[in-house]
């Protein structure tokens, strides 16, 4: 990330009236704000600790954090609709 | 740099998940990390992985670096003992990490009922191995991670994420993490308290930037 980009992110972060923006601008502001906050520090690895949040649609049956999952009847509805 | 790598990692590991954005994939990771460490003490493999994380001077990078340093200086047995003192104890632990307790002073009160209603609406249920009430901090973080990642069918709209966060986490999460940071039994978990509090504040501010 270049210094120039960070500067622009910081400027958009200081926009205190995002609702006056078009929706797209607000979303861009939000992403810039999140990047500046340091989300990237978890970018490289740590998959074991972050808990397999990468498993699409697979219920974490024995997930450490409890394995919260889609309810059976909703899953069936998704299956039926071929989501 | 890092962001692209993360996308590759995420997609490579699953082959299927399509996060709405780079930032969403990383948000899900933070929710997952914090959920996992609050659900059960980390084992040796998790501690080793944590020890390799590198912080930076960003708001999240600082507490993450401190947490990584704490992971390097401890052993699974010590963290397990700390977890017991904090959350289990004899009779009860030092902290009660439940929305209902923080919002009403009692367990299993209306905040839990409200959460269960939201879970029904979103089609989320507890796994069979879960014993704690759903309003445990780790469960709510796990649900946020799942909403973002699409574990519950498909990635939830940002508005849905915001509504869930606002209704079930924003009002009490900061107080819980403040307590965790200052808990007398907390060593490894003190920087997690700082990280969790910072992350919630950042999520709150970020949600405030969109409708």
DSSP classification of residue B1: -
B206:A67 CB<8 A: no
A51:B145 CB<8 A: yes
Residue of B209, B210, B211 to mutate when probing chain A, most A C-beta within 10 A: B209
Question: How high is the pLDDT of residue B192?
Answer: 98
Q: Write out pLDDT tens, residues A1-49.
A: 444 544 444 444 444 444 445 667 888 899 999 999 999 999 876 777 7
The residues, ordered by sequence, that sit 6+ positions from A49 with a Cβ below 8 Å of its Cβ are B32, B33, B36, B37, B42, B46, B49, B50
Give me the phi and psi of A65, to 5 degrees please.
-85, 10
A26:B211 CB<8 A: yes
pLDDT at A76 over 80: no
Maximum pairwise Cα distance, chain B: 48
Nearest alpha carbon to residue B55 among A46, A49, A42: A42
Higher pLDDT, A65 or B116: B116
Interaxial angle between packed helices B2-14 and B22-39, expressed in degrees from 0 to 180 and rounded to the nearest 10: 70
CA dihedral B115, B120, B122, B125 (to 10 degrees): 90
**Are B56 and A42 spatial neighbours (Cβ–Cβ below 8 Å)?**
no
Query: In the CATH hierarchy, which top-level class contains the domain B20-207?
Result: mainly alpha
Q: How far apart are CA B89 and CA B81, in angstroms?
A: 10
Residue A81, helix vs strand vs coil: coil
Question: How high is the pLDDT of residue B7?
Answer: 36
Question: How high is the pLDDT of residue B6?
Answer: 35
ipTM over 0.85: no
The ranges assigned to domains in chain B are 20-207
Low-confidence ranges of chain B (pLDDT < 70): 1-18
Higher pLDDT, A51 or B116: B116
Higher pLDDT, A55 or B86: B86
pLDDT at A51 over 60: yes
Shortest Cα–Cα distance, B87 to chain A (Å): 14
């Amino acid at each position: 990330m270049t210094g120039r980009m960070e500067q622009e992110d910081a400027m958009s972060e200081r926009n205190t009236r995002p609702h006056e923006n078009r929706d797209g601008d607000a979303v861009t502001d939000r992403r810039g704000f999140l990047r500046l906050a340091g989300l990237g520090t978890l970018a490289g690895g740590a998959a074991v600790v972050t808990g397999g949040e990468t498993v699409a649609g697979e219920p974490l049956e024995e997930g450490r954090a409890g394995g919260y999952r889609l309810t059976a009847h909703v899953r069936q509805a998704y299956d039926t609709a071929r989501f | 740099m890092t962001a692209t790598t993360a996308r590759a990692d995420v997609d490579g590991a699953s082959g299927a998940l399509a996060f709405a954005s780079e930032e969403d994939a990383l948000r899900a990771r933070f929710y997952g990390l914090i959920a996992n460490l609050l659900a059960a003490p980390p084992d040796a493999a998790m501690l080793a992985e944590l020890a390799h994380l590198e912080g930076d001077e960003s708001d999240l990078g600082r507490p993450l670096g401190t947490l990584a340093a704490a992971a390097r200086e401890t052993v699974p047995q010590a963290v397990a003992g700390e977890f017991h003192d904090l959350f289990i104890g004899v009779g009860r632990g030092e902290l009660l990490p439940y929305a209902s307790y923080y919002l009403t002073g009692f367990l299993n009160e209306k905040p839990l009922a409200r959460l269960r209603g939201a879970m029904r609406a979103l089609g989320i249920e507890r796994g069979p191995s879960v014993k704690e009430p759903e309003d445990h901090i780790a469960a709510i973080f796990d649900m946020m991670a799942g909403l973002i990642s699409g574990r519950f069918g498909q990635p939830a709209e940002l508005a849905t994420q915001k509504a869930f966060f606002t209704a079930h986490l924003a009002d009490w999460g900061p107080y819980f993490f403040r307590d965790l940071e200052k808990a007398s039994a907390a060593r490894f978990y003190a920087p997690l308290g700082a990280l969790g509090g910072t992350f919630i504040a950042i999520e709150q501010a970020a949600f405030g930037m969109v409708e």
